[in-house]
Structure 1
């Protein structure tokens, strides 16, 4: 396991790694330091050829309560606030724009920027008891940056209710509105997340990288432009060795041997 102060990288197996926010005393707050070290951890695993899937989780009682309000209160200056929110946005973009699929494994609370972190991941699974919220309105600070990620997963009316009331939602409702994929008992969560991670890790690295990049880019495009772009990306994908190997393996009724890293 590699450590960056309160951010730990744990090897699950050769292809699957877990990033753990290990600062339970602050409910795994996304402080300046933790944000910076999370970015470094994601970049490290993104450039590691063996890593195919990244899991992000928190230690202690919950996933993450968002920004450290004590730290935020002490910043005082406009430039420092801007620097903090820019750094948080940089982390979210690193997850979305990174080459490797990222799975959020959530227990306890995922609030504000912690909820944003969950929404920024490609997949998210939680315990049955997990709760999610964008509660900034309760302290006079609207969750504007968290809503960027969450509103891209949740419909407008449901998102606005979360933002305007600040009230937490339970795991079953989070699944219903598309914030998470599914929820399980505490005893089953690890195995269920690992099961999904292993399925993804069995696929071609190159194909997953191309697919993830294409998915997020086409979402922001008008329909006609999205079809033109995805047709181009499928052509690029088709020219790769792994596509040829995958089709041959299917036709020959055998397991593919991926070549592209």
Structure 2
């Protein structure tokens, strides 16, 4: 068995630091790098790409809504056409840095509110899939397991990875519990690792309301902006290895050409 551990990176901006990218990179297999809209800036993007290439971590674009104040986690009414443009713009920006440093982009994962909106809205999901295909049809799209993003990718023939979340609770329909809910985030590292191992080995998760939900786990997300993200990423990596689950990027390819 194998699973990818992905983590959001490159979310600092100017003199403001967020996350421990240089330490956490050793415990993950793929990274989603902010592309300047919800977080990040050109210098931070370059440094994050360079760091990932140096550690042989698969590089992914992490496009979000243009909402720095809300860190891209507030829903904004956008049309499929606007989403397409937002995605192409941001994927193109990160691709430029990756190619400039002799690498290649591995995947795309929408960020925050955009990710959750597209998980349930087929029109937005189709726009995202089209944008990825038009930028580079060899890319892998990371999307919530069982969501509209996955169904749209499958129908268009785009490679995809079904994503699960270590530290988030689930609703009975397979969606993530909204962050406005007091039990949206799993605070206990022990409980989060237990859920992660169950999803990776059993292909199932228990909803907040008790139902058992079947899902496919190709990649598991660790939030890099969490207070204990570094400690958790290390413990999760070690727990997976101890359970004989190999930690490896989806597709198994390095992002170095």
Larger proportion of helix: 1
TM-score range, shorter chain: 0.3 to 0.5
Larger Rg: 1
Higher relative contact order (CA 8 A, sep 6+): 2
TM-score (norm 2): 0.34
TM-score (norm 1): 0.34
